[in-house]
Each structure stands twice: as C-alpha cells, then as structure tokens.
Structure 1
C-alpha cells in the first residue's frame, strides 16, 4: 500500500469535511499510523471526529503559536509513535479584520502571518527530532499568485507560506526531508466559512477544465497522501495544483 508502515502527524482535523480528515482516512487505508493534533475547545471535537476514521487516532494538543506546545511536541507525539515519516500542515487562521485589505490593523495581519505561514517552519522544526531521511512535510495552500476577491491579508499570508515552503525545502534537503505544498481549489470547510463572501468562489468549476466541486475534499487529500509517500523521492519545494486546472486557464 502507498503508505504502508508510515507514521504521520496530521494537523487540521476539525470536521469530516476537512481536507485533513480525508488525508488521515486515506493514510490509514493505505497502511499508515496516524496521530492528530488539536487544541483548546476544538480538542473534544477532533477526538469525536477521530472516531469516524477507519481506526481511532490519538489526538495531541498543539497550538502552533504556543512556544511550549512546539517545544514539547516531539515528546508528546512519541508517546504514540516511535518516529514520524511525514507531517501534514493544514492550519490557517486570520482575524476577521484581516479580510479588509486597506483597513486591516497590523495586529490582525501579524496573527494571520504567524498562524498561517510562520507555523509551517515552526511545525517542521518541532517535528524534526522524530523525523529522518525520507521524511515529508506537506502543506495546503490556495494559489497565492493572484489577488483573490475577499481573501485579502490571508492571501498575503499564503504567499509567505509558499515562500516558507521553498526555504524549508532548501534547509531540510540536507537531512533528506522533503517539503511540498498542495494548492487546492476552494473547499467548503470550516475554515472557509470564516472567509467573508466565500460563496464568490462557487463559480470556480465553470472556469476549471476538469470542473470543480467545492464540497469534495478528496482530490486534494489524495495529492497530500501521494506527497507523504515515497513516490516523490526527488521532489521538494514544489506546489502541486489540485484545482481542476483553474490555475492554467486564468479567469
């Protein structure tokens, strides 16, 4: 199987509509052992959703903006698995004020960049004690080449996120660890609901050569699972588009 005997840390499982949930499901179906993360009030929700996976998965607490959580992550994950072969970063947050580009205050912008971009490096570094040659870091983005309607400072954070991926690829390569992103088309996840006027993306499928279903997270999840596997041994610093081909055709 694609992920036989792999040990994976997967962030971002909140509901069964989450891309991360389907990555975890596919990973287990393909032979992997999975550990999930959550924090605060969402932990109980993640624990409940974890029971919908093919096999129940342990949940460790992780707030990527909390230095103590990051410093102790490897020790806490090692209570469940003896190593990590891959990590999925499926984390993004921006305060509501960050969705007004011209009016946003720095405090809101800083939060968006910290949680949605810097955290990729922070998560990778926190996972390193358990990772070895052949490891894979995979993150999720929305194509940051464009100034999307309504996305505003989250779009800027995603541009920083994509740049962070390239620098991670540079610095982790000497350790034999890859870092890649999946640029997914818009998916109606819990995170998407926090974006004002997200329904403006509803016509995405009309412009994508292969069409696009905003309610189907599985294509993006499959790409993540593939990048977490050994089937891309010489690919790093890459962004794989899973958007129905929208990025190739423009508006």
Structure 2
C-alpha cells in the first residue's frame, strides 16, 4: 500500500508505525483507518516482525476521530456512530490486543478520545513528559470507545474511571504513570530512543511466550481462579514445546546468552 496517512517500516525485527497527519494531531479519517489496519495486519502476519512500535508525528500522538470526516450540524440526519465503531475502531483494538507479539506505544504528545484508548490497548506505554491523556468524549455527549470503558476501570478502578469519563480531565504523563495507566515517562527528547531501544530488545526475546502471556493476562479479567489455573496449565504446556523454551534452558545450563527465534 502507498501510505499517505501513516509511515510504516521494519527494522531489526520491529514494525514501526507512525500516525502521520500532524496538522490534525493525527486524528483518524477513513483513509487513515484503512492504512493503519493494513500495517497492523502486516505486523501480525509477518513472522519476521517480532515487536511493534506505535507513535505519532508532530506535537500530538492522536486526537481521536477527525470530526471533519463526519461533520454534523443541528437539523442534519443523525450519523450512525455505531457503524463507525464497528467498521473501524473495534477491528483496530482487536488487532492490537490479540496480536501475538508485543505492541509498544510511544505517546509523544496529546492522546485524546480514541487516541488515549488506542494507547491503553497497547501492551507497554511510554509517554513523553509533556504528553497528556484526555477522555474527551464527554464534551460531545458520547461514551469512551476503542475499548475505553473496558480498559479504564481495569487500569484505575471504577470510581476514577467514572470521573475520568464524565469530567474529561487532562491527565499528565506523570499522573498517568502514578495511577498505573502507563508504564513509564521519558523526557521528550529521549522518548523515541527509549521506545526504540525497548522494542528492539523485545524483538530478540521469546515472542511466542509473550503471545501466551498476553492471552493469559487478558483472560484473567473474566476468568475465575479455577479457569485461570486451567488456562495457565494449557498455555504452559504449549510454551514448553516451543523452540525458544529449549533454547532458553540450554543457554541457562551452559551459561551463555540465549538466541531466541520467536517460535
């Protein structure tokens, strides 16, 4: 695909995806959705890509939906926003959360609306010190989409999730880290280097084991303890049959650095 709204490249086992509409704070249009989905699908299907790094161009990570792409005025027929969520946002979040490899998000500026919830759907989030997160849906009479109503209560608890969703406060990167919404904060000029170093390191690790870990942690939200123990048994059985497990044990026993292949 000839990308016009994102940049996509692969280097050292890392798929780099950059949202590239800086003049609109990288807000989503239909065309941008299609390009982003194509790049995510490529990352999911290409075995040579063992980690994904998502970020934004310019002074913002993502401002969510570009309202110019579905402008509506009083008196106009109401748009079907459920169709937009079903066709574009839900498939995006499912791709990120079910991808069998780590997805890192480097939040380089404001992450608002769906932009915030896309970041929260990623496995590891590092934010620039100047970045902030805003659940801006309440300003438009909407609800948090892109998995926001699922991720927020699990990240910060129900009382805080309700306040964040209904008040739409600007949450600084430091506050987001303190509340457990993100993993780490980096100085602005060090963000991309920090995130790239982490992604490159993860791309050399046992990728299949990461896939099983993501699966187990996601299932824990709804499983009983007994169900989770059964799932751990099955996933551990599968992990023990991977090439990476054999390599890890052999490297440990022979006191050498492991060379994982991601299978």
TM-score range, shorter chain: 0.3 to 0.5
TM-score when scaled to structure 2?
0.32
Q: TM-score, normalised by structure 1?
A: 0.33
From the two aligned structures, give the one with the greater helix fraction. 2
Higher relative contact order (CA 8 A, sep 6+): 1
